[in-house]
Amino acid sequence: MPTAPEADALQLRRALRDLVALSVVPAAWVGREPAAIVTGLADVLVNSLHLDFAFVRLSDPNGGAAVEIARGSAWQAFPEWLQHYLAVNGRLSHREIVRDISSGGQRCCGIVIPVGVAAEGGLVAAACSHTDFPTEIDQLLLSVAANHAATAFRTARLVDAHRRAEEAIRESEQLLRKARDELETKVAERTTELQRSEAYLAEAQRLSHTGSFGWDVSSGKLYWSEETFRIYNCDRADQPTVELVLQRTHPDDRTRVQKTIDHAAQERKDFDYEHRLLMPDGSIKYVHVVGHAAKEDESGALEFVGAITDITERKHAEEILRRSEAYLSEAQRLSHTGSWACIPATGRHTYWSEEAFRIYGFDPAGAPPRFEEFERRIHPDDRARTREDFRTAIREKVDFDHGYRIVHPGGEIKEIHVIGHPVLGPSGDLVEFVGTVMDVTERRRAEEDRQALAHANRITTMGQLTASIAHEVNQPIAAVVTNAQAGLRWLNMQPPDPEEVRQALDRIVKAGRRAGDVITRMRALVRKAPPRKDQLDINETIREVIALTRSELHRTGTSLQTQLAEGLPFVQGDRVQLQQVMLNLILNAVEAMSGSNEVSRELLISTAADGANGVRIAVRDWGPGLKPESLDRLFDAFYTTKPDGMGMGLSICRSIIEAHGGRLWAAPNKRQGAVFCFTLPVDEQSCDRPEPPRS
């Protein structure tokens, strides 16, 4: 049996061994979770110190959740003991030794050791059936183990917090990186959008010739866009100032511009004005400037933002438009033609030109009259017809071309020709009528005078044909007398010869008809009648004229030949007027050739197609020809190459042909003489062609 010193030494060695074992345990707890540390401590205490019961509770001083665990069953009532102790004492501030905790009839002793001040780090409880438990060594080992565990627990908490912090930092970094990437993406997108917007704005300013500017009134500095520099024809390196603006301003506008901007700066009000710029090359620009007084900052400094537009092209266009309107107004005044627009649905004229007011006798300073007031100006005899024609055009949505008379307040009557055109909306509804109105009073009078002059010319021409016409009439009358006498002789014979009598009567009828045709043609040429537009066979019209001049041609020894093309389309015109033209040309040719015995008196009348839409008629003679100096004046009124001529025949002929939509001209004949040609448009409404004459 060992002695007391040996027992103490043995006990001391065992305590040192346990202390060393407890000292290396914390190294195994590094990086472990708090629950694992608590469990490890309880297992170490039970196994190393040979305890019958161990309870470990470790708390987080920063408010984290506590972790506790129990090993063994020797002190099952420990939770109740602890609860009772805390209820009595409030806290566990020092170690407590419980000498008797009687467990299952076996005597045990227990100890409770706080970790930290007032057990803020937790507590360790142990129980053992050894009689000397707890010795000082046991208490020391329990305290060391508890402190190691508490330190490891706090370290684990710190490590966990650090890990969580690192994870939070990593997550924050990821979020920040993501946010940064998103921000950079958005910044890039926004930058691209801004660059695109700036490009669009710059292009829009360039296309619209509108620049932007800012004006710091206190410093006098101006901030210009690219287009503003272009408008002022300045380099980007130049610093824009108010003095530069005034320098570019036209001298005649400079004072006004200076006053305008000074007033805006003093009154702190917006400005809007137009002026001219005088460029270094001497050219002039027109600009429109608009400025807005921006809000003042804390220092009270005033800034203006605005825009400047180059309106030179608009000014030029306005000037051209004003000139065009002036030219149009003068042209309407000279041609007595006005323009108008009206809305049938409302019964209002929305527009009348100045000439329309003059034509209808209304005051140009007033508004166009309503339909009812306008209709009162129409001649009573034309009012119903005019109203019905206009209503028909409205109902059928078609153009109308109408003539009527108006009566001015002073009683003056004017002849009016109006043309209207419907304007339809997208749905086909009638929106308005637009058109022209022409005062044709003077033209009608001139036409009447021309017709009277043409009639006088026909009478004169017929006077020249008196002998020929008399001869043409005498021949069938003589034939009538001769055949009548022969018929009487055949009747007086015994027996009478009825067949011979019948033949004589047939010849009398033919001769009478021939004389009647001559008189009918002569009356048609002499009669004064209004112009007509008939469908005519031009070849037949020419043949009728040739029949009237046959005796004159025979008397003068003129040989007439014709080359009339077959199958020519009809023309539309006045038969008498066209025959008058042919009669004048034939008689002029006969007269030209009869004045000389050295020429061949030949006359050729020909017709041919003139393209797809006209016919051409030519009268050729082999007379002395035309003098070159007379060609330009040949168709002038009162110009004549005849000693006793009036100079009206060819002038009237040209006016007749032009009134029919054709053209009349003269030229030298190929060999000798002259050729007079004229064209006539075909009748487009008829596709028929006249049948060629039967032989």
pLDDT per residue as tens digits for the range 13-61:
666 666 555 555 565 565 667 777 778 777 877 777 778 888 888 777 6
Is 485 buried (19+), middle (13-18) or exposed (0-12) by CB count in 10 A? exposed
* First-to-last C-alpha distance (Å) of the chain: 182
Identify any residues that bridge with 284 across adjacent strands, giving them in sequence order.
278
- Strand pairing report for 559-564 and 534-536: unpaired
- Note the pLDDT of residue 617: 92
Q: Which fold has domain 4-164?
A: Beta-Lactamase (3.30.450)
Residue of 219, 223, 210, 306 whose CA lies nearest to 264: 306
pLDDT digits (tens, 9 = 90+) for 252-303: 999 999 899 888 888 888 889 899 999 889 899 999 999 888 766 566 678 8
One-letter amino acid of 22: L
**Cα–Cα dist 374/383, whole Å:** 11
Identify any residues that bridge with 677 across adjacent strands, giving them in sequence order.
618, 665
Question: What DSSP character marks residue 1?
Answer: -
**Cα–Cα dist 476/2, whole Å:** 197
Q: Is 571 helix (H, G, I), strand (E, B) or coil?
A: strand
What value, to the nearest 5°, has the Cα angle with vertex 63 and ends 78 and 90?
Answer: 45
- Note the pLDDT of residue 120: 78
Residue of 363, 373, 421, 374 whose CA lies nearest to 393: 421
**Cα–Cα dist 354/181, whole Å:** 72
**Cα–Cα dist 262/276, whole Å:** 18
- Note the pLDDT of residue 351: 87
Residue of 672, 590, 559 whose CA lies nearest to 625: 672
Structure tokens at 674: 């002259």
What is the CATH number assigned to the segment(s) 532-695? Answer: 3.30.565.10
Contact (Cβ atoms closer than 8 angstroms) between residue 649 and residue 584: yes
CATH architecture of 209-310: 2-Layer Sandwich (3.30)
One-letter amino acid of 295: K
Structure tokens at 127: 């129980």
Residue numbers of the chain with a pLDDT score lower than 50? 1, 464, 467-468, 471, 528, 687, 690, 692-695
Give the C-alpha distances (Å, rounded to integers) separating 393 from 350, 351, 380, 390, 405: 18, 19, 21, 5, 19
Neighbouring residues of 559: CB distance < 8 A, sequence distance ≥ 6: 553, 601, 602, 603
**Cα–Cα dist 354/366, whole Å:** 11
Bond into 495 cis (ω within 30) = yes
Q: What are the E-state strand segments in 219-270? A: 221-224
Is 468 buried (19+), middle (13-18) or exposed (0-12) by CB count in 10 A? buried
**Cα–Cα dist 389/418, whole Å:** 11
Identify any residues that bridge with 392 across adjacent strands, giving them in sequence order.
none
Q: Is 176 helix (H, G, I), strand (E, B) or coil?
A: helix
Structure tokens at 183: 């921000």
Structure tokens at 649: 């025949």
What is the CATH number assigned to the segment(s) 318-439? Answer: 3.30.450.20
R_g of the chain computed on alpha carbons: 64
Bond into 426 cis (ω within 30) = no
**Cα–Cα dist 318/258, whole Å:** 27
Domain boundaries, the chain: 4-164, 209-310, 318-439, 441-530, 532-695
Same fold, 4-164 and 318-439: yes
- Note the pLDDT of residue 695: 38
DSSP string, 38-50: HHHHHHHHHHHTT
**Cα–Cα dist 6/462, whole Å:** 184
Distance of CA 394 to the CA centre of its chain: 30
